Amino acid sequence: MLNNILRLTICILLLRGIDMNCQSEMVSIKGGTYTPLYGRDSLQVKITDFEMDVYPVTNQAYLKFVKENPKWRKSKVISLFADESYLMLWSADTILGPSQSLKGPITNVSWFAANDYCECQGKRLPTVDEWEYVAMANKNLPDARTLKTYNEFILSWYEKPKTFNNNIGSTFKNYWGVYDLHGLVWEWTSDFNSVLVSGESRKDVDNDSNLFCGSAAIGATDLMNYAAFMRYAIRGSVKAKYTMKNLGFRCVKDKK
């Protein structure tokens, strides 16, 4: 009990969560139903209870991971699992670049790398539905998507350069106690390109080409949610081996 209190005190004092123990902290997400951006006949998606990392995975945590898993070092990674930009800002296999902070979010990692990282922690990547369900919250409401200020904040972030250089915890803590879902980096999901549905199954996926330009509005439940359109378009445009300087990830796990 005393150790838990001490650990919590350290996390509060550090505030922005940045030692390894705080960085891996998780919070419980109570499940429910929601209508995704892309859904037909007002499809309601059911979310079961799960746990989510409070923060995106940091450079510090990923550095530890590659030291323990040499196959994910930049000089050894197989091209099938990561493109040429993988960890491009790192100076060497186990040395961060001069512009990078240990407290910053890891970026330039592929879906394969992110997925393996989560599995090594006994966790997994969130589904699109789980990520969107938590990300639709603001500081006080579990679903703030109808608020003008909610979308304005996200759109203003899209216009800010190099937010991926900021440290984790630099944005607000939302209703669930999760930081940085908006305002820091884009994030991988387990089913990142499975965004269009038909029938009653989220696994029944249409052609990803429907995501682009005007056709992206077909089947959308909220034609004014441009911020969400951007997220879905990005997800539909990448492949699992791709890496981006503003694309990171966090992990989740099922509630027992």
Residues 75, 95 contacting (CB under 8 angstroms): no
Residues 208 and 225: their CA atoms lie apart, in Å, by 19
Would you state the pLDDT for residue 61?
A: 98
Residues 12 and 58: their CA atoms lie apart, in Å, by 18
Would you state the pLDDT for residue 233?
A: 84
For the chain, the domain total comes to 1
Mean pLDDT, consecutive 10-residue segments, the chain of 256 residues? 44 40 80 78 83 98 98 97 97 96 97 98 96 96 92 89 94 97 96 58 39 35 65 88 96 93
Q: What is the pTM of this model?
A: 0.81
Would you state the pLDDT for residue 42?
A: 56
- Residue 45's closest CA among 203, 172, 151? 203
Report, in this order, helix, strand and coil percent for the chain, each rounded to 5: 30, 15, 55
- Residue 101's closest CA among 90, 85, 112, 115? 90
**How many CB atoms are located within 10 Å of the residue 246 CB?**
16
Residues 70, 113 contacting (CB under 8 angstroms): no
Would you state the pLDDT for residue 210?
A: 36
Give me the domain span that covers residue 171. 2-254
Residues 166, 101 contacting (CB under 8 angstroms): no
Domain CATH for 56: 3.90.1580
Q: Which residues contact 154 (CB under 8 A, 6 or more apart)?
A: 182, 183, 227
Cα(first)–Cα(last) distance of the chain, in Å?
22
Unique residue bearing structure tokens 């990520």: 131
- Residue 178's closest CA among 132, 146, 145? 132
What is the β-pairing status of strands 197-198 and 26-29?
Answer: unpaired
